[in-house]
Structure 1
């Protein structure tokens, strides 16, 4: 599935591994694992089939966002967007559940 990054820090992390030291190694490994899955799937609905990701739609003021767990503390947030080429995921941030 097509994707892009809202924040340059995530784009730099993905393409150049810049800023990786800001997160625990298991979070970085999970980030790259999830991004490889997103890159390989044809449709967002495929993420629901992978139960280990805990893919979910957020609620309240973040109702347009979705997330997958990177570990028990961090999640990767994203939003489904549409452009002339169709659907794509806008990767928003790596977030600490507890902050």
Structure 2
């Protein structure tokens, strides 16, 4: 996907995509499992989660329960991407660690 290539190479592109509201769109794709875009949405979120604005936007979108569900029920690729997003969210943020624990992840 073109966005994946551009976002993974350039922090500025990540910020632009985040400010344009891409995280909300990705969350909609993640919650519509029949849409067939879960793989792509998770891969892009994994890229965006490494950016401070991305981490904040993903957290604000209340993504943790969705990501935990993917880890429990998704394909191996989706599980890996969901775990990557959670690693970024939980890094130096006790709130997300507690939320993961409450959802049975730890």
What TM-score comes out, normalization by structure 2 length? Answer: 0.27
Q: Per residue, is there more helix in 1 or in 2?
A: 2
Q: Per residue, is there more strand in 1 or in 2?
A: 1
Higher-RCO chain (CA-CA 8 Å, sequence separation at least 6): 1
What TM-score comes out, normalization by structure 1 length? Answer: 0.28
